[in-house]
Amino acid sequence: MLALHIPDGYLGPYTFGFFYAVMIPIWYRAFKWLKKLRPQQVPLLGVLTAFAFLVMMYNMPVPGGTTAHIVGGTIIAVLIDPWAATVALTIVLLIQALFFGDGGITAYAANVFNMGVVLPFVGYYTYRFLNRKLGLSEVLSSGIGAYVGIVTAATVAGIELGIQPYIQPGYCPYKLSVSVPAMAIAHLVTAGPAAAVVTAAVVWYVKKSRPDLFEMRTIMKSRG
């Protein structure tokens, strides 16, 4: 199993069916949000989507025989919007599932929920709280937001896996006492710090070289 990418056979029909039902209205809302994109932001979203695809291809080995990886969802959320991250990761995870075997088709909606909803929204609102309420810099806030976002997403994935023995035996064999610590710790000590550093570095570079992108983001927020 590739950490946050849940493969086929690990989630029972009750669970993956539930997540497809949850994601349908979320996908509708996310793709409808694209109408708010300004023309100057379209290339940025394309570049960040490609960046997310690239960084997820680099897997870091962790104890226990599995791997962890960063996602890039918080970067997209901070530089554009959390809904943009949902759209980008919906596309990335579909390509990975269909052509690279990263994550299963049955688990696709659950994977998008974890990496394309939980991660960017938790990461973004952590960033916003630290920046606006506590006065931390955007660079530091984005790094911490990325760390919190990916650890939260990993923990949620661990819960999804760990409840299978209780509700549908025969799928993921590991109970909550095993799956949650395994997922959370792997990202606390490997992917989490990596995500924090990469996100902070990208935000610092964009803020220094293209401050207009931050101004554009502010204008979008003010318009709703």
180-198 confidence digits (pLDDT tens): 998 998 889 888 999 999 9
In the chain, the DSSP E strands lie at 60-62, 66-68
Decide if 113 contacts 22 (C-beta within 8 A): yes
Q: Which residues, listed in sequence order, are joined to residue 62 by a DSSP beta bridge?
A: 66
Cα separation of 181 and 150, whole Å?
A: 14
Q: How confident is the model at residue 45 (pLDDT cuts 50, 70, 90)?
A: very high
For residue 224, pLDDT over 70 is answered with no
Token pair recorded at residue 98: 């269909």
Q: What is the per-residue DSSP string for 41-87?
A: HHHHHHHHHHHHHHHTT-PEEETTTEEE----HHHHHHHT-HHHHHH
Cα separation of 125 and 63, whole Å?
A: 31
* Of the listed ranges 60-64, 111-115, 131-135, the one predicted with least confidence: 60-64
pTM of the model: 0.93
Tens digits of residue pLDDT in 141-159: 999 999 999 999 999 999 9
Chain mean pLDDT for the chain: 90
pLDDT computed for residue 1 by the predictor: 47
pLDDT computed for residue 95 by the predictor: 96
Residue with tokens 């920046």: 131
Helix (H, G, I), strand (E, B) or coil at 223: coil
- Determine the Cα angle at 133 with ends 131 and 136, to 5°: 35
